[in-house]
Amino acid sequence: MSDFREMLFRLLVLIRKELLAVLKDPGSRSILITPALMQGLLFGYAATYDLTNVPYALLDQSHGANSIALIAKLDGTGVFHRVATLETQRDIAEVVDQGKALVVIQIASDFERELSAGRDGNIQVILDGRNSTTAGSASAYLSSVVAEFNAQLRGAAKPPLTVEMRAWYNPNLETRWNFMPGMIASLSMMQVLMLTALSVAREREQGTFDQLLVTPMSPAEIMVGKAVPSIIIGLFQSTLVLCLSLFWFRIPMAGSLITLYSGLLIFTIASVGIGLSISAVSANMQQAMLYSFVLIMPLMLLSGLTTPVRNMPQALQIATMINPLRFAIDLVQRVYLEGVGLFTVWHNFIPLVLISAVTLPLAAWLFRNRLS
């Protein structure tokens, strides 16, 4: 028991040292707060999406010639791809909640009869507002397809077909409603990678790392002592962006803070493992910064934040499976916007835990080999 208390005391001393090294440096203090706020505001106001692939679900209760012709025209665009054919209205919630379909098209049972009688035939379109700009672009594209369909209906005195749009989880289709929850994870990861990657490299350059080696601490204890401050700072920066989303952009949060922070904690641990691995193999700060920047860009691009994963080539979709940011963004967005619980997003925890289980032992192994 005394050995455990001594180890805990050594860890607390090292954690305190790491936090003081960051907080006492004016440059480091500004890095902790300014980039998160600046980038959060920048992305919140300037984020956009492109439309390349729209998965949709169909609920055709008419099964008439006109509804078949309309859907055939939609499928022929090359942009809309049917992922589900529904039987009842109760099936709509499932495909939208699980993110299978960006658009659900419902054609009423009286659609054919109304058109044949010369009256307006309505279709209802339900949009997944969590992907706001893409959903808005999809609705505009769908409207153009309907306009072409109207033009092809001969003998109609006026456009006989109208479209009713509804967006779930983001009624006004505001881009920042989708983007800002994703930034809660991505901005935190960027800072955590930089801090952990520079932690050992900075001490090597300053000559204090040799002093750390002569202490009774083992390489594993040194790694833990450097990981905990980065985890604390990462969660702090996630909280900054969360507060920015809630109180500045007024994006209402539907889910539980406990579920949200549980996912953020596991994700931050995985990010720390990656950063410590970079730090262990870097001989100086320049190398650590170079390795970090080289890694951050692919992680961001393959996260699904700016480009939906389903729009990527198959090889890149497979590559996203080892990207912790992909699962963190999906988890945060679903908890924040949908209000889902832990039992709905548990599948996102599994890859995050696996990545942590690989990167942390890898960092410890690299530490032992670098120190030997």
- Type of residue numbered 283: A
Closest CA to 142 of 121, 120, 159, 127: 127
| Alpha carbons 188 and 265: distance in angstroms, whole number | 11
Q: Is the dihedral of CA 57, 61, 64, 70 positive or negative?
A: negative
| Alpha carbons 325 and 309: distance in angstroms, whole number | 12
- Type of residue numbered 157: A
Topology of 54-168 in CATH? abc type-2 transporter like fold (3.40.1710)
Q: Is the dihedral of CA 64, 70, 74, 76 positive or negative?
A: positive
pLDDT score, position 48:
44
Q: How far apart are the first and last CA of the chain?
A: 28
Q: How confident is the model at residue 258 (pLDDT cuts 50, 70, 90)?
A: very high
Residue 338 contacts by C-beta under 8 Å, 6 or more apart in sequence?
97, 130, 169, 254, 255
Closest CA to 259 of 328, 176, 194: 328
> What are the beta bridge partners of residue 55?
81
Measured between alpha carbons, how far is residue 11 from residues 23, 50, 286 in Å?
Answer: 18, 48, 28
Q: What is the pLDDT of residues 288-320, one digit of tens each?
A: 887 888 788 788 878 877 777 777 778 888 888
| Alpha carbons 64 and 317: distance in angstroms, whole number | 38
Taking all residues of the chain, what is their mean pLDDT, rounded to a whole number?
78
What pTM was estimated for this model as a whole? 0.62
Q: Where is pLDDT greater, at 340 or 49?
A: 340
Measured between alpha carbons, how far is residue 62 from residues 58, 67, 105, 113, 310 in Å?
Answer: 11, 7, 12, 9, 30
CB neighbours of residue 43 within 10 Å: 20
- Token pair belonging to 79: 């942009």
| Alpha carbons 266 and 350: distance in angstroms, whole number | 10
The DSSP secondary structure of 112-168, one letter per residue, reads: HHHHHTTS-EEEEEEEETTSHHHHHHHHHHHHHHHHHHHHHSTT-SS--EEEEEEEE
The answer to whether residues 135 and 178 touch, using CB atoms and an 8 Å cutoff, is no
pLDDT score, position 50:
46
**234: phi then psi, degrees, rounded to nearest 5:** -60, -45
The answer to whether residues 82 and 103 touch, using CB atoms and an 8 Å cutoff, is no
- Type of residue numbered 31: I
- Type of residue numbered 105: I
Q: What is the pLDDT of residues 116-126, one digit of tens each?
A: 776 666 778 88
Q: What is the pLDDT of residues 2-32, one digit of tens each?
A: 777 777 877 787 778 777 776 776 655 656 6
- Type of residue numbered 175: T
Q: What is the pLDDT of residues 180-203, one digit of tens each?
A: 888 888 888 888 888 888 777 777
Residue ranges of domains in the chain? 2-46+175-371, 54-168
